[in-house]
Each structure stands twice: as structure tokens, then as C-alpha cells.
Amino acid sequence: MKRLKAKNLKEQNYIDIVKLLKIGNYSRADLAYNLELSKASISVLVEDLINMGIIYEKCDGESSSLGGKKPILLDINKNIGYFIAIHFRREFCNIAIVNLENEIIEECSLNVNINDDYKITFNPIIKKIKELKNKYKNKKIIFYRNICTW
């Protein structure tokens, strides 16, 4: 079995934390238990992810039946990056900016005039996509997702 280098191991731990948070809200103690890492290691990793803007402290959870301090629950920052979603129809195109939970941030529709020269057909669509990309350029990540139906 190939051993991971320290940098790769840290990155894998970041990924594992985010994967768990995609499933539900966890506290640092929950993450430590589920990932079999020390609470100190989890605290360092979580602090890094918070500083990167990937996750945030959501709210206080419920304390156990024995009492004690309420856990601070963590969640993924759904607005750290956006997708540009494109839906084509024969003579119509929908373009939307959506966050990581597929909530629509902005949406526009364009009529598509089919032309023998594909550049003439797609130039207005490309122009609108570039406008939206520039409008949201302050986001750390922008992905493109292309959905075609005829």
C-alpha cells in the first residue's frame, strides 16, 4: 500500500471533512470520531477550511442528556462558488447562475436564431455567459455545466 505524503494526507482530510458535511451537520467532535482523527487535528483542519471560506460555524447543537457544552455545528458555504447552468432548446436558451445547492442566484432567457453559421447562432449565448461570469468574478470557483435537450 502506498503511503500518502503529509501534504496529500492533509488534503485528503479536508476532502473527508467536506464529504461528511455534505451529508449533514457535524461538530468538531463528531468529525473527529467519524474520521478517527484527534480533536486537535480536526480543530486545525476545520480552522483552515473556515479561513478558506469553504465551511462555517452554523449554530449551536443540542447538548447531551448529561449536560455539558453545546457543540458548534459546521456547514458548507453554499455560496463559495457558482455553476453556470445552460439549458438549450431548439430556439430558446436558459442560462442560470446557481450555488452549490442548486439555488438559482440569477437567471436569464435568450431566443436562439438558428443559422447555418454556428458562430452567429452561439455568439449571443457566449456573450451573455461572459457577462454573467464577469459579474460574479469575485467567486473563488466557477464551473460550467452544460445541459442540452432538443
User: Domain locations in the chain?
Assistant: 6-76, 81-148
Between helices 28-35 and 6-23, what is the axis angle to 10°?
120
What is the rounded radius of gyration, in angstroms, for the C-alpha atoms of the chain?
21
Q: Which helix (H) or strand (E) holds 23?
A: helix 6-23
Interval 56-73: pLDDT, tens: 998 776 666 666 778 899
Give the pTM.
Answer: 0.69
pLDDT of residue 63: 64
pLDDT of residue 109: 93
Which fold, 81-148? Nucleotidyltransferase; domain 5 (3.30.420)
Average pLDDT in the 121-144 region?
Answer: 80
Interval 17-46: pLDDT, tens: 999 999 988 999 999 999 999 999 999 999
Strand partners, 27: 73
The CATH label, of 3.40.50.10490, 1.10.10.10, 2.40.30.60, 3.30.428.10, for the domain at 6-76 is: 1.10.10.10
Average pLDDT in the 100-126 region?
Answer: 88
Are 76 and 57 in contact by the 8 Å Cβ rule? The answer is no
Q: Which helix (H) or strand (E) holds 27?
A: strand 26-27
Are 42 and 21 in contact by the 8 Å Cβ rule? The answer is no
Query: Does the pLDDT of residue 127 top 70, yes or no?
Result: yes
Q: Which range, 16-30, 77-91, 113-127, has the best average confidence (pLDDT)?
A: 16-30
Distance CA 132, CA 125 (A): 11
Average pLDDT in the 93-121 region?
Answer: 88
